[in-house]
Structure 1
Amino acid sequence: MKLGLFLAITLPIAFYAQDRSGVATKNEYPNAYSNGSAKVSSFTNSSRLFKDWSISVGGGAAVFQNADLSSFYDGKVNLGWNGYVSIDKQISHTFGISVLYQMGMLNQKGLLPGAGGVAAGVATAWTKYQQVSILGDINFSNLLRRVDNHSPYRWALHGYGGVGLQGYNTLLLDNDMSRYSTVPKRIPIEIDQKLGFDTFFYQIGMGVKYNASKLIDIEARAMYIITGDDSFDGGGNGKNAIPRYNAITTGNSDNFVTVNLGLSIKLGKHDTHLSWYDPLQDIHNRINVLQNSPDEFIVCEKGDKDNDGVCDDWDRQLDTPAGARVDGAGVALDMDLDGVIDLYDKCVTVAGPVENNGCPMSSPSNK
């Protein structure tokens, strides 16, 4: 009996505790994230306001910055090259993400210390590499842009960071390891590292983009690439390799720098790309338009001096006594039309002279 009574009370509460204002599934509107009167709809491709996909290509120079064999030797720079292509997705106006493929070739030189250097002379090496990575993109200009900055928004500062996999092939030649014409013949130092999950690298960088048109962005980008591999510069496999090129410096990671110029082709039908859209600036512009728009219709421009609720612009009785009820024209009501307004009329529904406070003479108002 007690159980049945408990269920009879609690089950209706459980069923009707939630407000089901027309919601059958989480994809219907209104839902828990909107009120019943909001004009909302699900976010689909057709409801997008901006472009948010692009394809980027570019290329430029590459040099070793930190390695046993360096691109900077004897006052000269041994430039390499690199190129990239990426598919870019803009997540918000301040953040995007890219799938990036890059390849290139580095040229470097080095000299072993002591007698080894005398025998081998200056070694020359090259590294050919391929990399696949995920790259995050922070739009600092959108992140830090002031709402009172009214300058044309065509330049943007970007920061990048990501991780990926790499494969590379290296070859090192010197006067000692490359003696094909002597006995015994020696084999040059060569490494062929296949791309795999054990070849992680990291990269960070900065870039400047210019909004050339609604279709094209131009970008200058500098990236610092941390290979995490001491053999990437062609010095051999490990610190104990013979000859000991990998022991020229104490570091265990051969890092290099790329400087590129590239293009981003913005995909989509809209005029504006999301990376060039600043919500705060848009809000500021809308407020500015409202503040500077002409007044099309001003209500109660002259005020309501007698506080009867009818603006003086169309009030036919500007000195209505305080507390008197008025009609739409601001005139105090006199229901019995005896010339005494209802505020002072002691007999509101029966006509009477003013001398008797609006009551008939046969019915004195003081009785």
Structure 2
Amino acid sequence: MKLNLLLALAIPIAFCAQKNSVADTLGNYPNAYSSGSANIKPFDNSSRMFRDWSVSVGGGGAFMHSADVNSFYDGKVDFGWNAYGSLDKQISHTFGLSLLYQTGKTNQKALLPGAAGVAAGVATAYTKYHQVSVLGDINFSNLMRRTDNHSPYRWALHGYGGVGLQAYNTLLLDNDMSRWSTTPNRIPIEIDQKLGFDSFFFQVGTGVKYNASKLIDIEARAMYIFSGDDSFDGGGYARNSRPPYNAIKSGSSDNMFSVNLGLSFKLGKYDTHLAWFDPLQNINNRIYVLDHAATDFVVCEKGDLDNDGVCDDWDRQLGTPAGARVDGAGVALDMDLDGVIDLYDKCVTVPGPVENNGCPINVNPK
């Protein structure tokens, strides 16, 4: 019984599956795998409507923040630099992905507490870094844009978040234990971190893009990097290292941020990039145009010379007498088919000769 029931269910499914496969391989639309609309195309590059690839480059300042050895010391800022390049793929009008490479250098200072600080003085350090990451891009302007906003779409707010790996080299010098010296135990604090899974970090940020042309976007971008590494600022390998720069502040993650100005070069042959297209607004605009379009019907382009109500474009009898009733082709009506049109027929329902005004011979027309 169970086997029969299984066969009863499986056989129709097998036949339908075969039918669907045949429909799909024929390449005809609509088919079993389409939405039922005839206005669809194969899923390949020929069906694209927008640019969706771009290359971005930029640069600006970089600063060590929330670290033991900091870029912000004694009310002053030690500026560093940052540069980036990325290959960007727009997945939808609200989301994209980037393969990002960043490099730069931060400069920072610190002072040990107590007598150690008096002996060492203000320490100076730098961090040179290289980072490779995957970055997600959310287009907040497309996500929150009102569909009835008809203003030019030239500015967009973006949010970023991603993960990556980094390699860095740090150097810290002071006047005591970590100065350049041949004296034993007086060597600089220097760290050389190789690129690997132990250098994992994540980052978030935001940016404002301006659609300068169909080929170029201009962007101001700020990124914050959580290193998860207490050695990233150059203070040493651990909190108990000597000199104890890593013990100045609590926490085990030295973070940095960058502020950059960059350009995005949009690749492809289409006029519009997907990041600058909102399908909901496009649909609303089309509805608006249709609702406010002036109704302009051109009737009787060639006129109606005989004024019978039938345009000359399809009037089969262009010289219909004035006042005669006509059919849809503009031919004068003759109800009794006696050759006398109803306009002149004195006996409309009874056939008769023309000489008697369309009435039978034995009937006198009125």
Q: Specify if TM > 0.5.
A: yes
1:47 matched residue in structure 2: 47
What letter is aligned with 1:58?
A: G
8 A Cα contact 2:129 2:168, kept in partner: yes
Residue deviations 1:199-240 (CA, integer Å, cap 9, x gap): 101100010000001110000000111011000000000111
Deviation of 1:257 (Å): 1.0
Counterparts of 1:49 and 1:202, CA distance in 2: 34
- What is the 5 A alignment of 1:62-101? 62-101=62-101
Counterparts of 2:99 and 2:87, CA distance in 1: 5
8 A Cα contact 2:80 2:107, kept in partner: yes
2:221 matched residue in structure 1: 221
Counterparts of 1:168 and 1:293, CA distance in 2: 62
SS at match of 2:242: coil
- What is the 5 A alignment of 1:84-233? 84-180=84-180, 183-184=183-184, 186-233=186-233
Deviation of 1:296 (Å): 4.0
SS at match of 1:239: coil
Counterparts of 1:72 and 1:146, CA distance in 2: 41
1:332 matched residue in structure 2: none
Larger displacement relative to structure 2 (283-292 or 50-59): 283-292
What letter is aligned with 1:135?
A: L
- The answer to whether 1:275 aligns with 2:275 is yes
Q: Using a 3 Å threshold, how does the CA distance of structure 1 residues 37 and 208 change in structure 2: closer, same or farther?
A: closer
Q: Using a 3 Å threshold, how does the CA distance of structure 1 residues 109 and 293 change in structure 2: closer, same or farther?
A: same
Q: Using a 3 Å threshold, how does the CA distance of structure 1 residues 144 and 36 change in structure 2: closer, same or farther?
A: closer
8 A Cα contact 2:180 2:188, kept in partner: no
Q: Using a 3 Å threshold, how does the CA distance of structure 1 residues 125 and 141 change in structure 2: closer, same or farther?
A: same
- The answer to whether 1:20 aligns with 2:19 is yes
- The answer to whether 1:254 aligns with 2:257 is no
In the superposition, the TM-score normalised over structure 1's length comes to 0.76
Counterparts of 1:10 and 1:204, CA distance in 2: 52
Deviation of 1:150 (Å): 1.0
Q: Using a 3 Å threshold, how does the CA distance of structure 1 residues 192 and 7 change in structure 2: closer, same or farther?
A: closer
Counterparts of 1:279 and 1:84, CA distance in 2: 31
In the superposition, the TM-score normalised over structure 2's length comes to 0.76
Q: Which runs of 5+ in 2 are unaligned?
A: 300-308, 311-326, 329-334, 337-349, 351-366
8 A Cα contact 1:179 1:185, kept in partner: no
Deviation of 1:181 (Å): 5.5
Counterparts of 1:25 and 1:37, CA distance in 2: 17
Deviation of 1:184 (Å): 3.8
| Length, aligned pairs only | 305
Question: How much is the aligned-residue C-alpha RMSD, in angstroms?
Answer: 3.0
1:60 matched residue in structure 2: 60
Deviation of 1:110 (Å): 0.3
SS at match of 2:98: strand
Q: Using a 3 Å threshold, how does the CA distance of structure 1 residues 15 and 205 change in structure 2: closer, same or farther?
A: closer
Q: Which runs of 5+ in 1 are unaligned?
A: 300-312, 315-327, 330-335, 338-350, 352-367
Residue deviations 1:100-154 (CA, integer Å, cap 9, x gap): 0000000000011111111111100000000000000000000000011111100
SS at match of 1:38: coil
